[in-house]
Structure 1
């Protein structure tokens, strides 16, 4: 268990939320990517002034929920949680990967309650418009492989513990241990959360309308995606990354106050843990404009 945060009643569930006060407002709310939890953003949170991390229902230290869920359900749940925890808005939503879809859906549904958006290596409902034609087959191959992954062996778990010890070296010991145990036991949550990723969630965003006119920063992870490099040759990987970069530039250009930045050396899954400074700089940019 973690020593940080507390659980708030939201409907018939209790959801975990941790807030750290600091210089700088509006409050930043971090929305984790698939498989990640609020504690993964602890370093980014502590670099970002007044900021909140939380766990969606069905993840982390929040109560269980059937997965996957619609983006609207997640957005409405977060809104109720912020109210229960007395987090005053409007807020800056910082969504990573799948969390970026949920942040955008929140902004579509509750535009006056959003002061800014920070999208951390986000996906997009029109992603294949930017990727090479071969990317569709690559995506299907990766999903098929992921669905068939067996349970981790003791040897794999031991190796992962060593990697997590390095990844969370700056975390308090209790939180480092809690995160490691959680990720080793619940790694399939990431698969469950994304089963409606390119069907229901994409359709929701397409039909949801424009984003509000608020400051927006899109951060692109500059390192190669290790999953892609396992299944594709170097040329396809390079072209796919160029497509993601172009997609992120287009996402930033779609709003009046949008900006795009690349974080050199950042890997998609580890951007929140390993590059809190880049996240804090983006937060500062949004606050200055908000």
Structure 2
């Protein structure tokens, strides 16, 4: 049986399920990274290491993702945020927390702050998912999204061939070339082993979870920065025709502006050359500056 232990961090037992958590640095507020769909904890290792030079920084995998134990997917936002809160207590990670959430992780970070405002010192949302994105997107984009979600529900995507796996392995090995050698290969192999997770997490996102976000309490009035990635993204460009993608981007920009306005200490920043999937690698200095600004305002 292959070794599935994480190359960094350790797993903590949360109600009979083991969750991976890796921490570095000292001091507070503690920064906690929440990964986007299709990504996992150690995808954020490089920016985590830089944050850890300033304060305590934490990476973790939610259940069903990365090196944490499997879970039945999809899940509710309440389950995800309850689980994170219990993990931080069990691992004795001191609060309050500056939550740094990317994509769906950004929506989870905001939801955590709305449910547990006393735990949160600040929020940094990296091109976050918004519950009204599908509502505000152009009609053609909504139709295509419905088709993609239906395909996921029917699990029509076949298992990739060995040749396709090898091609993905080579591409990811190149992508992760800046990661430590001891992390690179396990990270690539974990992505290959868990490739269906992103599809499964998305299945209830635009109805059940989006409605959950709409019914949540107000965002706490804490220091808040929303970073919008408005540059070219390879994956997005493959999914959407150019004009639809432009309309989607403009809708996203407006929603992110509204997110920033949810706090009197909110700020919206545009990254004009960053793509959605890897903005923390394409523009790490902008992410680090936002973290530093929030740490300053939260202290």
User: Partner of 1:11 in structure 2?
Assistant: 15
**Within the alignment, does 1:254 sit opposite 2:268 as a pair?**
no
TM-superposition CA deviations, 1:1-22 (whole Å, max 9, x none)? 4331011121111111000105
Greater relative CO, 1 or 2 (CA 8 Å, sep 6+): 1
Alignment of 1:22-33 (within 5 A): 22=26, 25-33=28-36
Cα distance, 1:130–1:115 mapped onto 2, change above 3 Å: same
**SS of 2:199's equivalent?**
helix
Q: Is the 8 A contact 2:36 2:106 kept in 1?
A: yes
| 1:37-186 map, 5 Å | 37-49=40-52, 50-144=56-150, 147-186=155-194
Q: Equivalents in 2 of 1:231, 1:16: separation in Å?
A: 32
Q: Quickly say closer, same or farther: Cα 1:164–1:232, change in 2 above 3 A.
A: closer
Task: Give the deviation of 1:73 after TM superposition.
Answer: 1.0
Cα contact 2:10–2:22 (8 A) shared by 1? yes
Quote the residue 2:198 is aligned against.
190
What secondary structure is seen at the aligned counterpart in 2 of 1:73? helix
In structure 2, C-alpha distance between the alignment counterparts of 1:232 and 1:64, rounded to whole Å: 32
User: How far apart, in 1, do the equivalents of 2:193 and 2:222 lie?
Assistant: 39
Residue segments in structure 2 that go unaligned for 5+ positions in a row: none
**Would the alpha carbon gap of residues 177 and 274 (structure 1) be closer, same or farther in structure 2, given more than 3 Å must change?**
farther
Maintained 8 Å contact 2:228/2:269: yes
Q: Distance in 1 between matches of 2:259 and 2:122?
A: 14
> Compared with structure 1, are the counterparts of its residues 231 and 95 closer, same or farther at alpha carbon in structure 2 (3 Å cutoff)?
closer
Which deviations, in whole Å up to 9, do the C-alpha atoms of 1:246-282 show, x marking residues without a partner?
2111211222111111223322122234433222111
Residue 178 to residue 273, structure 1, CA distance change in 2 (3 Å) = farther
Partner SS, residue 177 of structure 2 = coil
Residues 40 and 273, structure 1, Cα contact 8 Å, conserved in 2? no
Distance 1:272 1:231 in 2: 21
Give the 3 Å change call, closer, same or farther, for CA 3–236 of structure 1 in structure 2.
closer
Tell me, what secondary structure is at the counterpart of 1:118?
strand
> Which stretch shows the higher mean deviation, 270-279 or 172-181?
270-279
Matched, 1:270 2:273: no
Name the Cα RMSD after superposition: 1.8
Q: Tell me if the contact between 1:117 and 1:217 (Cα under 8 Å) persists in the aligned partners.
A: yes
Q: Is the 8 A contact 2:149 2:203 kept in 1?
A: no
CA distance in structure 1 between the partners assigned to 2:176 and 2:235 by the alignment: 22
Deviation at 1:89, TM superposition (A): 0.6
Is the contact between residue 66 and residue 191 of structure 2 (CA under 8 Å) also seen in structure 1? Answer: no
Tell me, which stretches of 5 or more residues in structure 1 are unaligned?
none
2:38 counterpart residue number: 35
Number of equivalenced pairs: 289
Distance 2:104 2:240 in 1: 23
How many angstroms apart in 2 are the aligned matches of 1:79 and 1:255? Answer: 22
Distance 1:20 1:46 in 2: 7
